Structure 1
Amino acid sequence: MDWEGQEQAVLIRWLYGEKMRGTAVGELYDAIYHVPNGGARHKKTASDLKRQGVKAGVSDLPVRQARGGWHGLYLEFKATPPRHSSLAQSQRDWLESSEGEGYCAVLARGFEEAKAVLREYASWPRTQVEGPRRELANGTEWRR
Structure 2
Amino acid sequence: MTTTRKPRRVLGPAGAGTAPRKRPVDWEGQEQAVLIRWLLGERQRGTAVGQLYDVTYHVPNGGQRSKATGAAMKRQGVKSGVIDLVVMEARGCWFGLYLEFKASPPHTAPLAPSQRDWLTLAENRGYCAALAVGLEEAKAVLREYAEWEPTDVEFCDDPVRTMQSGTEWRKGE
Same fold (TM over 0.5): yes
Deviation at 1:83, TM superposition (A): 0.9
Q: 2:101 maps to which residue? A: 77
Deviation at 1:20, TM superposition (A): 0.3
Which amino acid counterpart does residue 53 of structure 2 have in structure 1?
A: Y
Deviation at 1:107, TM superposition (A): 0.4
Q: 1:142 maps to which residue? A: 169
Q: 1:49 maps to which residue? A: 73
Give the secondary structure class of the aligned counterpart of 2:140.
helix
Q: How does 1:1-144 map to 2 (within 5 A)?
A: 1-130=25-154, 131=156, 132-144=159-171
- Gaps spanning 5+ residues in structure 1: where? none
C-alpha distance in 2 between matches for 1:81 and 1:102: 30
Which amino acid counterpart does residue 5 of structure 1 have in structure 2?
A: G
Which amino acid counterpart does residue 2 of structure 1 have in structure 2?
A: D
C-alpha distance in 1 between matches for 2:153 and 2:53: 22
Larger radius of gyration: 2
Q: Do the aligned residues in 1 keep the contact of 2:57 with 2:86 (CA within 8 Å)?
A: yes
Higher relative contact order (CA 8 A, sep 6+): 1
Deviation at 1:136, TM superposition (A): 1.7
Report % sequence identity.
Answer: 68
When normalised by structure 2's length, the TM-score is 0.82
- Gaps spanning 5+ residues in structure 2: where? 1-24
C-alpha distance in 1 between matches for 2:77 and 2:149: 32
Deviation at 1:38, TM superposition (A): 0.6
When normalised by structure 1's length, the TM-score is 0.98
CA offsets 1:91-124 (integer angstroms, 9 cap, x no match): 0000001100000000000000000000000000
In terms of fraction of residues, the more helix-rich structure is 1
Q: 2:9 maps to which residue? A: none
Which amino acid counterpart does residue 103 of structure 1 have in structure 2?
A: Y
Root-mean-square deviation (CA, aligned residues, Å) is 0.7
